[in-house]
């Protein structure tokens, strides 16, 4: 079965980025020359997905506007003969079909995904979190879809983290089947120190079977008083096989200030026009410390 739809939850308030996110959605903060959310959407497009469902909330209209056609801007750029920039801006609105669903109450990631049930339907789908940027030669989403073609079951993306950081993540325990691939036995959201021996941390990429919606509907609020996706994933893993994939690439937590700065540097160094000069600048600045 082919995966054709992706869900991107962007309803969060971005409190880790206050005061910057007070009036600007954190997903619209820029990494070099484009907002964070555009990198996520471009990863989806590069992976062959056909439709995106954004889970939004009040104050997030800037995200939808970014991917819409702007006639006035288009006209101004054409009048000023800025053809290349005009083409680049117009291409944003033509990237992919996007549908928006409102999360009316801040009840957590699990609830955000549940709100898309009527749009997603009865097919497997991808979930990408807007805070997680992955820099890789093959898009992280595409890597997971390749594995899904083999297993046809739910997959969570993971990375190994230091043990003292496990309380900050959802953690997977499981049997390693081969390099980078694990069969999930247990999942726990932000485990207390000493309660797990695993350091396989879930990051913001998932391929989910549609059965997850019924489980989310029954899931009671967990850590932080929110409906946790991890709790529903654990229930799903007891009904049918689930796999964890240690993706190839570097992940940046763009929802964290330090992670955001690291992402800017990493993407800037790879920028086709800015990269060489920026690399020189980094070396010069480094010598001053």
| pLDDT for residue 23 | 85
Rounded CA gap, 35 and 139, in Å? 18
- Pair 184, 242: CB distance under 8 Å: yes
Domains of the chain with CATH codes:
5-284 (3.90.550.10)
Burial level of 117, CB count in 10 A (0-12/13-18/19+)? middle
pLDDT at 99: 94
Q: What is the pTM of this model?
A: 0.92
Between CA 112 and CA 120, with CA 116 as vertex, the angle to 5 degrees is 145
Contacts of 189-194 with C-beta under 8 Å, sequence gap 24+, read: 189/222, 189/223, 189/228, 189/230, 189/231, 190/223, 191/166, 191/167, 192/167, 193/164, 193/166, 193/167
Residue by residue, DSSP assigns 44-59 as HHHTT--EEEEEE-TT
Contact 48, 145 (CB under 8 A): yes
pLDDT at 203: 94
How far apart CA 110 and CA 202 sit, in angstroms, is: 14
Average pLDDT per 10 consecutive residues for the chain, totaling 289 residues:
93 84 90 94 96 92 90 88 87 90 90 95 95 94 96 96 91 94 91 89 96 91 77 91 96 92 95 93 82
Q: How far is CA 273 from CA 29, 32, 170, 269, in A?
A: 21, 11, 38, 10
Residues paired with 189 in a beta bridge: 170
Give the pLDDT of residue 289: 67
- Report pLDDT for 215: 94
In whole angstroms, what separates CA 205 from the centre of its chain? 6
Number of H helices, E strands in the chain: 11, 13
d(CA 252, CA 99): 26
Alpha helices in 152-274, H assignment, sequence order: 212-218, 229-239, 257-269
Question: Are the beta carbons of 113 and 7 closer than 8 angstroms?
Answer: yes
């Amino acid at each position: 079965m082919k995966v054709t739809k992706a869900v991107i939850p962007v309803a969060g308030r971005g409190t880790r980025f206050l005061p910057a996110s007070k009036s600007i959605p954190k997903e619209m903060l820029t990494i070099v020359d484009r907002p964070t959310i555009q990198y996520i959407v471009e990863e989806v497009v590069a992976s062959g997905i056909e439709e995106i469902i954004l889970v939004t909330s009040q104050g997030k209209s800037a995200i939808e506007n970014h991917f819409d056609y702007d006639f006035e801007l288009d006209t101004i750029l054409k009048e000023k003969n800025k053809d290349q920039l005009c083409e680049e801006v117009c291409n944003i609105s033509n990237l992919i079909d996007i549908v928006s669903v409102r999360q009316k109450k801040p009840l957590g990631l699990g609830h955000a995904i549940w709100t898309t049930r009527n749009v997603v339907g009865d097919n497997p789908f991808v979930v990408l979190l807007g805070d997680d940027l992955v820099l890789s030669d093959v898009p992280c989403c595409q890597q997971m879809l390749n594995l899904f073609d083999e297993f046809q079951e739910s997959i969570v993306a993971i990375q190994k983290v230091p043990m003292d950081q496990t309380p900050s993540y959802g953690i997977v325990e499981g049997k390693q089947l081969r390099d980078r691939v694990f069969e999930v036995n247990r999942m726990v959201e932000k485990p207390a120190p000493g309660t797990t021996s695993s350091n396989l941390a879930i990051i913001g990429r998932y391929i989910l079977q549609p059965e997850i919606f019924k489980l989310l509907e029954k899931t009671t609020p967990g850590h932080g008083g929110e409906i946790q996706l991890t709790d529903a994933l654990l229930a799903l893993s007891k009904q049918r096989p689930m796999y964890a994939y240690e993706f190839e690439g570097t992940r940046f937590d763009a929802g964290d200030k330090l992670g955001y700065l690291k992402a800017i540097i990493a993407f800037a160094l790879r920028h086709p026009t800015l990269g060489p000069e920026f690399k020189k600048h980094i070396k010069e600045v480094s010598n001053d410390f």
